Structure 1
């Protein structure tokens, strides 16, 4: 759910999906950005995604976003219920030239469900997602493309938000869980999930796909997951693999991947041993969902110490990812390694009505009043390596 758009889902050509959209070619601010949008960079490839992430994160910390921010997102929806990555002319009806995708639609459905007041739009979005389900039970980034773990996971999140029984959403006799389990690797290969089979049909471990699939296999989604009752996180092969067992196997892989350095490594060509901050935040959520907050302590601590510069450079979706990681582990996003994530996120968009955060114990309450927060502008895009999901 890193959101999720990094280095380039080439807009009109090979959009091969990820649970998070791709970043535009240039992070330059655009003078024509709508006032309700979070972030100052070109929204062509990630506008709906980053807006959805921001609204979900603010909802999680009990902040009421500006009406303009919600209205902007709702206005991106097409008449058939689908959402594009960005709709530059919302007053103009969607046509065949406007590419809509499952990731943007599922993310927007979850965001509009969270803020409330848009039940009809959410229902239309979910119905559209059901209408483009693949015969193997999953979803690709765009209708008709092969199913991938990330897209299937973010759609599962949208279904779960509306209390739709995921196993009952079927086409060709297959459910979304059937599609995910086909992408689960045996323990001999780490127990991870693959993004998709490679050109030779081989499954290769993909940490970002694994983080998304773990929470989806637990019945929720990457954007809205919360820590639950701790469950086993050891890898064990079984002839009757279930979503619960696949989630445990995937969590075991993630725990091993972050054990040494505290972070997931980038798989971008030439990146070497560079950390992937966005995918690490996703792993925190997945580990917390499967094994409880303590299971995510190592990567969470690393993010608290090292993510501030990355978040400043990459704007609203990055701040939102860190807020969700903090919330999943019971950590105060108002003091995340010394950074007030909520204040930084709200500074990238229209000032919220109010922003508050109560931790689970009720021991702390803090407020951010919107005046002046919009003066700052988020820069750049979410360079979280989400295009890596396209690579085995």
Structure 2
């Protein structure tokens, strides 16, 4: 998540907490068709696209209202903003961002039947590519590995070879990614990691590394793991320029080796140090990102170990959070696990409970991976993910405010939620 979006979400969380403690009953309902009840100002398109991707992967047909909500967010020039409160009005100048557009492309391409919208959005993305071959969160800014990875996934989903998407100066997205990796000149423990650029300096960043690994594989948020294989970093003892000429798969392997080491050191999860804390706390979202990134390259053993940790420890983080639940569903898919049977939880049902009821199955013999519970009952099952009480909402806001601030300062140290 970029710093700008994280900061905005934390402000929104604080505002939400104030409103809840004043009068929970006065909270306005979310826009029709949207997943989740939180203010969509900063993450509406992001979480909606994530939810549609996850449900589609789980063989659940989203309600037409949910898909319509997303398509209505697209601007006339093809880009998507974080959220448009009034879709009858033209988009505000410079409202679109590459992250919202990139994930929306992936969702619409996966659902099918949205060719014109996908083509228009990918055209917009190609039009805001930076000379170095990468993308920034907002067009016109310096490229960053996270945004570049999101766009690579969008291009791939739309049927375009990311390696052929060259900038006006002839650079590819993979050229841009390579520029963010720490090589032989870095400390041994940092080699292979990716950094996020801030104030002209790169700092090792686990989130940037996970995103860059996925991007270097040419993968989006939906990953079907290949055959299991090991990943290794190049030998700097042999050549001090060992990283300089690596191709995408090779520098992804080096980054995957770094992520694996970090997961092992953290007890199968990644951590971040929150302000004022003496000990790091779990970084659930980046751990889920790492699961998908590692699975994309066939590093299934560490990916499955991290997924197992998530299923046992992420209930508070994921409760009533459509983006988080979507990450868990996609992490399950990437590692060959069933998201409906995760340590007694059903991530798919929890997610469907947060939005409009999905399209009903045509027959009782339809795919067994779809939820067969009636939509009316799903909406009442608070234990399966519906936020039916103000207590859970307040707990969730406190959690975001306390843990999210730490990730803001020590997880990304940069400008995206």
CA pair 25-90 structure 1, distance change in 2 beyond 3 A: farther
Q: Distance in 2 between matches of 1:153 and 1:23?
A: 26
Q: Distance in 2 between matches of 1:290 and 1:120?
A: 31
RMSD: 2.8
Give the C-alpha shift of residue 391 in structure 1.
3.5
Q: Over residues 310-343 of structure 1, what are the superposed CA-to-partner deviations in whole Å (9 max), with x where a residue is unaligned?
A: 111x511110000011110011100111100000
> For residue 176 of structure 1, what is the aligned residue in structure 2?
173
Give the C-alpha shift of residue 219 in structure 1.
1.0
> For residue 343 of structure 2, what is the aligned residue in structure 1?
337
What are structure 2's unaligned runs of at least 5 residues? 235-241, 388-392
Specify the SS of the correspondent of 2:371: strand
> For residue 259 of structure 2, what is the aligned residue in structure 1?
254
Q: Distance in 2 between matches of 1:370 and 1:278?
A: 30
Structure 1 residue 60 and structure 2 residue 49: aligned? no
Specify the SS of the correspondent of 1:87: coil
> For residue 238 of structure 2, what is the aligned residue in structure 1?
none
Q: Over residues 98-152 of structure 1, what are the superposed CA-to-partner deviations in whole Å (9 max), with x where a residue is unaligned?
A: 6211000111111111112211111111000000001111001000011001000
> For residue 359 of structure 1, what is the aligned residue in structure 2?
none
Pairs aligned (count)? 371
Structure 1 residue 152 and structure 2 residue 170: aligned? no
Q: Distance in 2 between matches of 1:10 and 1:133?
A: 26
- Note if contact 2:40-2:83 (Cα within 8 Å) is conserved in structure 1: yes
- Note if contact 1:44-1:86 (Cα within 8 Å) is conserved in structure 2: yes
Q: Distance in 1 between matches of 2:58 and 2:4?
A: 23
> For residue 19 of structure 1, what is the aligned residue in structure 2?
none
Normalising by the residue count of structure 2, what TM-score does the alignment of the two structures yield? 0.82
Specify the SS of the correspondent of 1:334: coil
Question: Paired residue for 1:234, among 219, 232, 235?
Answer: 232
Specify the SS of the correspondent of 1:204: strand
The answer to which of 80-89 and 377-386 deviates more is: 377-386
> For residue 103 of structure 1, what is the aligned residue in structure 2?
99
> For residue 412 of structure 2, what is the aligned residue in structure 1?
389
Structure 1 residue 45 and structure 2 residue 68: aligned? no
CA pair 38-105 structure 1, distance change in 2 beyond 3 A: same
Rg larger in 1 or in 2?
2
Q: Over residues 183-214 of structure 1, what are the superposed CA-to-partner deviations in whole Å (9 max), with x where a residue is unaligned?
A: 01115323111122x43x44321101111110
Specify the SS of the correspondent of 1:26: helix
- Note if contact 2:295-2:335 (Cα within 8 Å) is conserved in structure 1: yes
5 Å-filtered alignment, 1:158-169, equals: 158-169=154-165
Question: Paired residue for 2:375, among 349, 356, 371?
Answer: 371
Normalising by the residue count of structure 1, what TM-score does the alignment of the two structures yield? 0.87
> For residue 80 of structure 2, what is the aligned residue in structure 1?
83
> For residue 195 of structure 1, what is the aligned residue in structure 2?
196
Structure 1 residue 324 and structure 2 residue 344: aligned? no
> For residue 30 of structure 2, what is the aligned residue in structure 1?
33
Give the C-alpha shift of residue 5 in structure 1.
9.0
Give the C-alpha shift of residue 217 in structure 1.
0.3
CA pair 369-116 structure 1, distance change in 2 beyond 3 A: farther
CA pair 365-129 structure 1, distance change in 2 beyond 3 A: closer
Give the C-alpha shift of residue 300 in structure 1.
1.4
CA pair 349-245 structure 1, distance change in 2 beyond 3 A: same
- Note if contact 1:230-1:289 (Cα within 8 Å) is conserved in structure 2: no
- Note if contact 1:192-1:205 (Cα within 8 Å) is conserved in structure 2: yes
Q: Distance in 2 between matches of 1:284 and 1:332?
A: 15
> For residue 17 of structure 1, what is the aligned residue in structure 2?
none
Question: Paired residue for 2:112, among 91, 110, 116?
Answer: 116
> For residue 250 of structure 2, what is the aligned residue in structure 1?
245
